[in-house]
Amino acid sequence: MNGKIIIISAPSGCGKSTIINALLERGDIDMQFSISATSRKPRQGEVHGVNYYFLTESEFRSRIDAGEFVEFEEVYPGRFYGTLRSEIDRIINGGHNVVLDIDVAGALNVKRLYGGQAMTLFIQPPSIEALRSRLIGRATDSPEVIEERVGKAAYEIGFAPQFDYSVVNDDLAVAIGQVHDLISSFVGK
């Protein structure tokens, strides 16, 4: 049986990583996280080979030239993110489902490539204001970066109708349950 590809997108600060980590820890759905490559600097606590493969911009560009990415995007100016073909192959060939945490453009590109083997899921904030408060509360980004992320969020929410499913993260436990059930019924097919 071919593994399924679960693609999750959300504006930054919508609880996407928390939801994905909760499901991975719960462990009742067989899925492994696809570690993306990025040219951005690690945040405090982030580990190379766990959260991301952290590359310099020139390393990233040579891997683009070598055709190593299924998809890549310059998500923010000068900051590249991409899904390595080797990551998806490693997990799928190992007989597992794979979960991707990638931006909206990347998500729709991967869905186009893998069709029915892939499911796209968009996680929305209850509102833009709620999102701004969450990002301020998280205190990992400067005010300029927060405004950049909020602006990007408004743009990204416009893509939600193109996703297979959309979940609003107002109450975290409810959102985790909804995402769990959607993935579980997709991989069970």
Query: DSSP for 54-87?
Result: E--HHHHHHHHHTT-EEEEEEEETTEEEEEEHHH
- 125 touches ligand 5GP by CB under 6 A: no
Beta bridge partners of 120: 7
Among the candidate windows 71-79, 114-122, 128-136, 176-184, which touches ligand 5GP by CB under 6 A? 71-79
Among the candidate windows 69-77, 111-119, 122-130, 168-176, which touches ligand 5GP by CB under 6 A? 69-77
- Contact yes or no for 121/14 (Cβ under 8 A): no
Q: Of the candidates 55, 91, 99, 102, which one interacts with ligand 5GP according to CB under 6 A? A: 102
Q: Of the candidates 83, 97, 120, 166, which one interacts with ligand 5GP according to CB under 6 A? A: 83
- Residue showing the smallest CB distance to ligand 5GP in the complex: 106
- 90 touches ligand 5GP by CB under 6 A: no
The number of helices, as runs of H, and strands, as runs of E, in the chain is: 7, 9
Q: Of the candidates 5, 12, 31, 122, which one interacts with ligand 5GP according to CB under 6 A? A: 12
- Contact yes or no for 75/61 (Cβ under 8 A): no
Quick check: helix, strand or coil at residue 31? strand
Nearest to 154 by CA among 130, 170, 185: 130
Q: Of the candidates 33, 55, 63, 73, which one interacts with ligand 5GP according to CB under 6 A? A: 73
Positions touching ligand 5GP (CB under 6 A) are: 12, 36, 40, 71, 73, 75, 81-83, 101-103, 106
